[in-house]
Chains A and B, each alone.
Chain A
Amino acid sequence: MPLLINQKIVENDSWQLVDIEALEQLQDLSDADIQGDIIVPLAFYLEHRDQLLSRSGRLGLQVNGDDDLAALYAEQANVALIAVEFPTFRDGRGFSIARQLVRIGFAGEIRAVGDVARDRLAHMQSCGFNAFLIPEDRFSEEDLSAFAEVSVNYQGTVADPRPIFRR
């Protein structure tokens, strides 16, 4: 799956999403079992917090709108990446989650995952996403131009939060 960061295609993604079933098979969450930078679902993290935090690789959390967002926000300082899942493109909760993450000062990567495609990239970026994992079959090189389709905005964005009347 192509990953866009800073409006460029990133060839080597160091992050690996570990799904809950694979995790539940494991005896031990130490580096011996899962190496490197991993993304785990928030619910799993909340259950195995201390073990996960004692690993040496970096840690990311995956959430969607059904998760306990207050718990996510309380833990944000412990993780380097938060993957916000769009279960379907119609589910707009992820936009508000990104906004709230920026607001509480989360400084890591905010990655859009799930049903992510061109016609929402610009909105996602305005709300604070800085990485986009796009399913292969929905990706084309032209998607990179999506960010510039509408060059103006009224509301302000995460990059420049001033609404038009304060600029």
Chain B
Amino acid sequence: MYQYNEVDQTLVDERVEQYRDQTRRYLAGELPEDEFLVLRLMNGLYIQRYAPMLRVAIPYGLISSEQLRKLAHIARTYDKGYAHFTTRTNIQFNWPKLEEVPDILAELAQVQMHAIQTSGNCIRNTTTDPYSGVYAGELEDPRAYCEIIRQWSTLHPEFAYLPRKFKIAVTGGAEDRAASQVHDIGLHLVQNDAGEIGFEVLVGGGLGRTPVIGKKIRDFLPKEHLLTYLDAILRVYNLKGRRDNKYKARIKILVNALGADEFRRLVEEEWEYSRGGELTLTDAEIARAKSFFKPFDYDANAAADTSFEQQRASDSAFNTWYERNTVDHKVPGYRIAIVSLKPYLKPAGDITDTQMELVADLAEKYSFGEIRSTHDQNLVLADVKKSDLYAVWQALDSNNLARPNIGTLLDMIVCPGFDFCALANAKTLNIADQINERFDDLDHLYDLGDIQLNMSGCINACGHHHVADIGILGVDKKGEDWYQITLGGSSREDASLGKVLGKSVAADDVANTLEKILEVFVEQRQEEELFRDTFKRVGIDPFKENVYAVAH
């Protein structure tokens, strides 16, 4: 993974001291509240319902064992012994003290971590596919480009006060596990007819109040132009994005207002000035970035092992976990293992200090010392030898990290909702529990196949409810929590926004409603069809009919 050089370290260290001074000036009354607010947001610090919330950056979801141990230490020392992984592969602490944040940042800086630009109206953490570099079918490992973007976007002097936040996601090939089409910019590595590799460029995706799928503005951008082109997009947005209304300030609104063609024209016009200029990537820089993401020294004999098949045959619990929570690796004899952060009756994405330490140890012992965080709020040990899987599973299982539910209805993305978030309209964690209790029979879930269920506690859509097979949105009706359900959304290659099923349902009725939805699916399903395919085939009407049928 990327290792800081002197410049990276200096920047992070100086940023900590700068923030320490900003906090000091704020507490001394020298810095106005509204200005400190913006400065602390650019350093990942929200003030929430009960306490501040600190969001720490995990660039493109890649973290080392040493870093994860540091996060465990911070959770234990400055917080209540746990933290929360987000859909943008960052981690949040829910209870730090405002005065202690500079110290937390100084601790993070010791392990090449920070909270820079994890919030605020600036360029946020660039995200990517959690299987980067290890799945077959990738054109190139996108993380080298993510790192190039990370550096360029960090403390960018021109783009620190954008109209609104700005999120970029990069994928390494045709598969999309990064929800790239609902990002402000989605970059897909593609190959042109001449066999060269470059980027397909999408702009103007986003969720929130006005969910929009990104629009393609370029079929093929040669890689060396990556930064000059991003620079042009950001300058057009910075100058022309709306600033009169924060709900209309995202780039998606600008792109919709101008139309993709006019937006493209403006970008290309701006690009004329910088194209081929100083920001053009050199071969040496691309090679340098790539050198940090080389394939590991894999064991050439890994595939020869036979113990693993015996363990699968003799231990059915292990076998189930293997089938559900591990994925093909491009190197024979290896698997990608997913650490489920979706245990029974616990908030999705939460992890305790001891669990963090356990995962850090497992990574060190069995997966080259690296861990990835995913868009669906799980962790990944990307390079586990098949012969080590049994030991990994046993350790995860005894720490409540091996619930074999990846890809199922219970592998939900859930935002913190009313229990933590000051903007929430409704609770989400209790509904997630209700669903867990009702769909406790995992065999039944396996029969249903992969289904993505996402839930948000308000229209800001942090839980990505628009882009799930089943989306649940908390709404407030006269002080009561109600839930609106959408069906047929996707954040994958076939990205689409879910359709509203009908009027919202009461809190007690969410699991009942899901049952009715699944009844229709089972009835209409052809063979092993996935929920999304059945939905595409039959549309929303049969679901509506069953859910809202008047009882006779």
* Chain A residues with a Cβ under 8 A of chain B: 65, 69, 89-93, 95-97, 99-100, 103, 117, 119-120, 122-124, 126-127, 140, 149-157, 161-166
- In the assembled complex, which residues on chain A have CB atoms less than 8 Å from the CB atom of B7? 152, 154, 164
26 CB-based A-B contacts, threshold 8 Å: A89-B35, A89-B38, A90-B38, A93-B238, A93-B243, A95-B157, A95-B161, A96-B158, A99-B158, A99-B235, A119-B35, A126-B158, A149-B18, A149-B21, A150-B15, A150-B18, A151-B10, A152-B7, A152-B11, A153-B11, A154-B7, A154-B151, A155-B158, A161-B277, A165-B281, A165-B288
Q: List which B127-159 residues lie within 8 A (CB) of chain A.
A: 151-152, 154-159
Question: Which residues of chain A are near B31, meaning CB under 8 Å?
Answer: 119
B155 engages A161 (CB within 8 Å): no
Q: Count chain B residues whose beta carbon lies closer than 8 angstroms to a beta carbon of A.
A: 41
Q: How far is the CB of A95 from chain B (nearest CB, A)?
A: 4
Distance in angstroms between the alpha carbons of A93 and B149 in the assembled complex: 22
Q: Which 7 A-B pairs have the closest CB atoms?
A: A92-B161, A126-B157, A123-B157, A165-B285, A154-B151, A95-B158, A149-B18
Check B278–A161 contact: CB distance below 8 A.
yes
Q: In the complex, what's the smallest C-beta–C-beta distance from A116 to chain B, in angstroms?
A: 12
Contact B39 A65 (CB under 8 A): no
Known pairs A89-B161, A119-B22; A166 contacts B282 (CB<8 A): yes
A95-B160, A140-B30, A149-B21 known; 9 new pairs, CB 8 Å cut-off, are A91-B161, A92-B163, A95-B157, A96-B238, A122-B157, A154-B152, A155-B156, A161-B277, A165-B282
Q: B445 in the interface, Cβ–Cβ < 8 Å?
A: no
* In the complex, chain A residues whose CB is within 8 Å of the CB of B285: 165
Contacts of A99 in B (CB 8 A): 158, 235
Q: Are B284 and A151 interface neighbours, CB within 8 A?
A: no
The answer to whether B151 and A164 have CB atoms under 8 Å apart is yes
B32 to chain A, nearest CB (A): 8
Chain B residues within 8 Å of A122, by CB = 157
A92 touches B284 (CB 8 A): no
- Residues of B in contact with A (beta carbons under 8 Å apart): 7, 10-11, 14-15, 17-18, 21-22, 30-31, 35, 38-39, 121, 151-152, 154-163, 227, 235, 238-239, 243, 273, 277-279, 281-282, 284-285, 288
Point out the residues of chain A lying under 8 angstroms from B15, CB to CB: 150
CB distance from A136 to the nearest CB of B (A): 14
> What residues of chain A lie closer than 8 Å to B161, measured between beta carbons?
89-92, 95, 120
Complex Cα spacing A140 to B30, Å: 10
A155, B159: Cα distance in complex, Å: 11
Q: Is B155's CB under 8 angstroms from A154's CB?
A: yes
Q: What separation, in Å, do the CA atoms of A91 and B18 have in the docked complex? A: 22
Whether the Cβ atoms of A156 and B279 lie closer than 8 Å is yes
Is A96 a contact partner of B235 (Cβ separation < 8 A)? Answer: yes
In the complex formed, the residue of A with least CB distance to B227 is A163
Whether the Cβ atoms of B162 and A92 lie closer than 8 Å is yes
Nearest chain B residue, comparing its CB with the CB of A160: B278
CB-contact partner of B155 in A96, A103, A150, under 8 A: A150
CB of B18 within 8 A of CB of A153, answer no
What's the Cα separation between A17 and B10 when bound, in Å? 41
